[in-house]
Homo-oligomer: A and B are copies of this chain.
Amino acid sequence: MTSAAAVVREFWRLMATNHFASVASVLAPSFVLEWPQSSERIRGPERFITMNVEYPAHGPWRFTINRIVEGEGDVATDVSVTDGVQHARAISFFTVAGGRITRLVEYWPEPFAARTDRSHLVEPIE
Contacts and interface: CB of A to CB of B under 8 A. Distances in A.
Nearest to A108: B109
Given A41-B123, A91-B109, A118-B51, A69 B78 contact: no
10 contacts: A38-B115, A41-B125, A42-B121, A42-B122, A55-B118, A69-B71, A76-B93, A78-B93, A107-B107, A109-B109
Interface string A104-124: 010111111111011001111
A67 interface: yes
A40 B78 CA distance: 18
A122 to B, nearest CB: 5
Nearest to A39: B125
The A contact surface, by secondary structure, is mixed
B110 A110 contact: yes
B74 A109 contact: no
Contacts of A43: 123
Contacts of A41: 122-125
A33 B71 CA distance: 22
Contacts of A107: 89, 91, 107, 109
A72 B76 CA distance: 13
